[in-house]
Structure 1
């Protein structure tokens, strides 16, 4: 799966264009950007090129690589190494078998780190090898200020991105039908290999709180703070916001204000 021919033009807009921010809202988050998902025009920035940990928002890139390899309806087997990662975990067990697409949905809806490791190892033989592919793919997307060390976003030395780079990834993800379809799911039934079922709730609370919100990905670590890449479709306009380094108290309001501002500025 490759990008439409017009996507690289959007990356140029993200790099060079910004709308007037005279009436832009003030937010708590340390870094942010608002972009028109259809034209790539930047509508707002705050420290958009500051290198920062981005936590689980980088799972969008994990998902993109898994989808681009294909055979997502095929089966994979859980390895013991997949079960040893740090929380949050869904609770995969060694030797269990799952369809890749089922784990991919779980990755984007519930943000499980054991699932991220499992998909990465299955894809490339090891998570380290997968992370190198993440960085290589990021460069192809124009993400020149990013470096990845794992598939989950858990803290790692030398791992970072920026709000601007994550906007590039977000636009690609938004225009990837499978990712867009998954990230708007509010509740997801998940069936474990032993037959047990669990209902998973999307970590993006704005899906239920703000009309038109249809993705994309949350993230949190102590180092990264609260992060949210959010998308909205309203009145024919598609807006994406990236907020990094916010707090539990402020992340939803930060993103809501930026989404509303983006809608008001989009042509």
Structure 2
């Protein structure tokens, strides 16, 4: 879905350490279908299939929608926007760029409004030597806000400083799910002398109308280490996110129950 939805536009590269790509709706998926599919993707990110199947077996479809609305999906606008950005970023890494994303982090929220600590997304290329870790900082904005530049830069520095904690979190989750191969691969990135290469990434999900490329130039002036910035432009972002969450509430009755757990291990490169 993500590679059909979002396609790169031609941009001028910054002159410094920032590498930049701009993604926008390619028009290959009808609007209503896109919203419906993203609604299903939201549910998949919040709930492992076992939990959804358990609730679905005990309740009817309307009651499942109520369960999602009351216990899983956030109500606050800012939280919804942040979670939506994380889902888009994880989908790009898994489905479009073919990285291994071992864990969908939103499944580990204890309450809908709570943020899960650590990196927004961690993605891996295990087959490279040494293995590569992509550490993206994800920011979602429905209106122009220059504060996002410093916030993204500072947040990325913080998560890089605590990267081992995030890797350990993934390792334990994979071990709990019986994914021995992945848990051992992740453990090898922690055990001294760990061999790994870390890439700094940022993903900005932004309202298309309010996006201005001067943010790229300002960010380029700030970063001193090679960083990859991906900007995803979405038309009428605030309304779009609201429609996606409405679709998520309606999705459980037809959401697939054959999902393998959502580890997103495609592209085990």
TM bucket (normalised to shorter chain) is: under 0.3
Under a length normalisation based on structure 1, what TM-score does the superposition of the two structures give?
A: 0.26
State the structure with bigger RCO (CA 8 A, min sep 6), 1 or 2: 2
Under a length normalisation based on structure 2, what TM-score does the superposition of the two structures give?
A: 0.26
- Higher percent of residues as strand: 1
- Higher percent of residues as helix: 2
